[in-house]
Amino acid sequence: MLKPLIEPALRIDGLSYYGIVTTFTNPTHFNADDLAGFGDDFFANNKWYVFVVRDAGGASAAPDGELQPISDYTSSDGTFEHTAFTANLAVGDEVLILHESIASIIINTGVISNIFNLVNAILTLTETGGTLTTDGTVQNLYINETPAGVFDPKSIQIDFTAQTASETVVIRESYRIKSGGNYIEKDGAVTFTGVQSPKLKNITLEENRFGVKVTIEKTAGANIAYDWRVMYKI
């Protein structure tokens, strides 16, 4: 016979009881002979939970590790009525009958995991930037070619301090709105000719999932270095 997984001192401490399934009746009822005799309804009214601590086959098959509330208990033969597991119990499965004060730890672990997942999905306001020197071609100032998921570009700022009366540049803002789709220009190109006032230009960006870029193209004058920075939530 297999050695019980649970040390004797832990089996009956008033908050947890160890037993082995001796009869599987149906998806919501089983018997454990060694858990008989506590008095009818001792484990009842969802104040106690049955936790499957070991699959009889030793392969951790469902419902191994699952926890369900107990609604009724018959003392004479150790019959438990419980909410169904994702798979049926089997003769030989080892179970712990846990008081709600103990079971809540397991339940809360799942809740905490869900909260962690939600917190992890909160977007973070992030920034990057650099300096780009024009070369006469259409150049990416800022691009997120294939975002991992939905994100929220906020704005891009471009410093035109270095631009003189001789230069002309064209700024374009484009989005990809479906997976693998083409970049579609938004609101048309904006041309900046000569000395600019104010020197700092701000472009508001849109939420996006499939790709965004802001480009600069010098169409006249010398190659000039433009500082830029983008703020986005990701």
Partner 1 sequence: MTVGFDNLSINHQLLLALPFEEMTGTITHDNGKPHHILTLTGTPPTWGSLVTGQPYISFDGAADYLQCPAANSDDLRFSTGDFTLLAWLYNTGPVGTDTVMCQNTVDACGWEFDIDSTGKIALRTNQAGAHTEISAAAAFTSSAWQLVGVTRHATTGQVYVNGDPAITTGTLTDAVQCGVGANIFFVGVQNGAAANFWAGYMALLRVWERAPTALEMKEVFNVERHWFGV
Binding of partner 1 by 138 (CB under 8 A):
no
Q: Which two tokens stand for residue 193?
A: 């000719």
Least distance to partner 1, CB of residue 201, Å: 19
Name which position in 122, 180, 187, 198 contacts partner 1 (CB under 8 A). 122
CA atoms of 17 and 58, how far apart (whole Å): 20
Q: Which two tokens stand for residue 175?
A: 């989005």
Stretch that binds partner 1, among 44-52, 104-112, 117-125, 160-168 (CB under 8 A): 117-125
Binding of partner 1 by 180 (CB under 8 A):
no
Output 91 or 225, the one with its CB closest to partner 1: 225
Amino acid in the structure at residue 107: I
Tell which residue, 8, 1, 234, has the closest CA to residue 122.
Answer: 234
CA atoms of 166 and 194, how far apart (whole Å): 6
Binding of partner 1 by 129 (CB under 8 A):
yes
With a CB cutoff of 8 Å and minimum separation 6, the contacts of 110 are none
Tell which residue, 18, 17, 22, has the closest CA to residue 5.
Answer: 18
Name which position in 77, 145, 185, 207 contacts partner 1 (CB under 8 A). 145
Binding of partner 1 by 161 (CB under 8 A):
no
Least distance to partner 1, CB of residue 33, Å: 43
Q: Which residues bind partner 1 (CB under 8 A)?
A: 116, 120, 122-131, 140, 143-149, 229, 233-234
